[in-house]
Amino acid sequence: EEIGVAKTRNPLGHSSAARVIAYLMERSQRVLQICDVLAALADDLSKRCIPMWRENKKQGALALCSHFALVLGVVVPMLLERSDGVADREDVILRVKADCTDLNHRVSDLEELFSDALSTSTYRIKSEALGFALRAHFEALRCHIGWETDVLWPLALRILTPEDLDNLADTIPDAVH
C-alpha cells in the first residue's frame, strides 16, 4: 500500500456493474447483427450464395447457441435467485427463459431447413419457404433481443449484487476482465 493512498477494493471486484451489463447488451447487439446478415442473405437464396450461407449459418448458429446458453444457464438462474418472490420480476425472467428456450429450438429447426435447402440431393426445400421461415425466426429474435435490451438487462442491473455481476463476468470468457 502506498503512503497516503487508501487501499480500497472496488465493491464490484474486477468489473463494474455497468460494464458487465454493457457487455451483455453489446453481445445482444451482435446477435442482431448476425440476424441482419442472415436476413439479407435470405432475400437472395440463389446457388451463388451457398458457400456464403454455409459459413454464415455456422457462425450464426454458434453465436445464438452461445448467447442462449449464457442467458438460460447463468443469467436466468441468478435473476430468479434475486427476484425475492416479486411476481413482476419473476414474470419477466420466466418470459425471457421461455423465449430463449423457444428460439434455441428454432435454431435447431433452422439447421434442418438449411441442410435441406443447401443439399445437393434432388429434394430441396424451395427458397421461398426457407426465406419465409428465416424471416419469421429473425423477427422473433429481434423482438426477443429488444426485450433483453429494454427489460432484462436493466432488471439485472437493478437486482443483481456486485458479487453476482463479478461471478457473471467470470463465466464469460471474452467479457470484461
Say how far apart CA 80 and CA 48 lie, in whole Å.
Answer: 47
CA distances from residue 137 to 35, 120, 122, 163, 175 in whole angstroms, order as listed: 9, 24, 26, 35, 27
What is the Cα–Cα distance from 93 to 162, expressed in whole angstroms? Answer: 19
Extract the C-alpha cell encoding 147. 426485450
What's the mean pLDDT in 88-101? 91
- The answer to whether residue 100 scores a pLDDT higher than 60 is yes
CA dihedral over 107, 112, 115, 117, signed as positive or negative: negative
pLDDT at 10 exceeding the cut of 60 = no
pLDDT tens digits, one per residue of 153-176 = 999 988 998 889 888 888 876 554
DSSP 85: T
Q: Give the span between the Cα atoms of 128 and 33, in whole angstroms.
A: 22
- Per-residue pLDDT for 14 more than 50? no
Percent of the chain with pLDDT over 70: 72
